[in-house]
Structure 1
Amino acid sequence: MNYDQLLEEWEQSRENFLDFMIHVCGLPVDSKTYKDLDRTINNIEDIKKWGEFFDGDIENITATTESFLTFGQREAI
């Protein structure tokens, strides 16, 4: 999938979402944030929940992911 497609279709599958993180956001696959996303994003519903915290700024991927994870932990209680 090319860059423009990822911009349009990042929310449509787990694979697109993780590719978006790597190729559009520049998130290294060996980063804690990527590993957290790989571990916790399992389906489109998870992507939608993550997206509720995303402000559209790719500089905020780590903060968005931390908020998403914190929310998930609260939901599990």
Structure 2
Amino acid sequence: MAESTTFDRVCDIIRENGGAGDIELTLDTKLADAGLDSLSTVEAVIACEDEFGIEIETEQNPTTVGEFVELVDSLMEK
């Protein structure tokens, strides 16, 4: 259940920062395909840090929605 909630919120953040509108996001969707460039990816990372109370290191570089969700989940477990 927590993963679904994390997935939904991360997707909302990606949509807000990517400008891709209401496209369907899946775990396999590449962040670039969701409209995130390097600047908007940083903005999405900051939004996730604020939303979930985590700190994402700069060397952690997710490229898909699934990697992003997995990263957030793993950091929330710490």
Say whether the fold is shared (TM-score over 0.5): no
If asked which structure has higher relative contact order (CA below 8 Å, sep 6+), I would say 2
Structure with max Cα Rg: 1
**Taking structure 1 as the reference length, what is the TM-score of the superposition?**
0.31
